[in-house]
Amino acid sequence: MPRYDFECTPCAYYTEITQSMDAPSVIECPVCGQQTLQKAFITPPRIFVRGEAKTVGQLAERNYKDMGFYEKSERVEKDNKDGMTTEQKEKRKLHQKITSMTPEQKIKWIKNGD
Ligand SMILES: [Zn+2]
């Protein structure tokens, strides 16, 4: 017989119960004495996961959490390197590009924009 995790919402009682698959998913809680001990799904059903994020912001937040701690800290480090903003970095890149040009290339760049 499969083993299920049961959780009582009102009193937060948590237990593992071995029962048949067609057994009731809500049983009496030994702590509350009420019919509030419910089968808890370790892997939530797909429909539950899909309905979790309701806005783009929530979805982004969830994706950010999913990235994991290592990736997050790495991203922060990259963004703050040299204490420069992305805009400043772009400007510096452009300056370096212009500096590395030959006079002919510079004239062409000024005329054509690229
Ligand atoms: Zn309870």
6 alpha carbon – ligand 1 mean position (Å) = 10
10 alpha carbon – ligand 1 mean position (Å) = 6
9 alpha carbon – ligand 1 mean position (Å) = 7
Q: What angle do CA 36, 40, 22 make, to 5 degrees?
A: 85
pTM of the model: 0.37
35 alpha carbon – ligand 1 mean position (Å) = 8
What are the residues facing 26 on neighbouring strands? 38
Q: Which two tokens stand for residue 67?
A: 């990235």
Residue 64 banded pLDDT, cuts 50, 70, 90? low
Mean pLDDT value of segment 98-111: 83
84 alpha carbon – ligand 1 mean position (Å) = 54
pLDDT(12) > 80: yes
39 alpha carbon – ligand 1 mean position (Å) = 13
107 or 30, higher pLDDT: 30
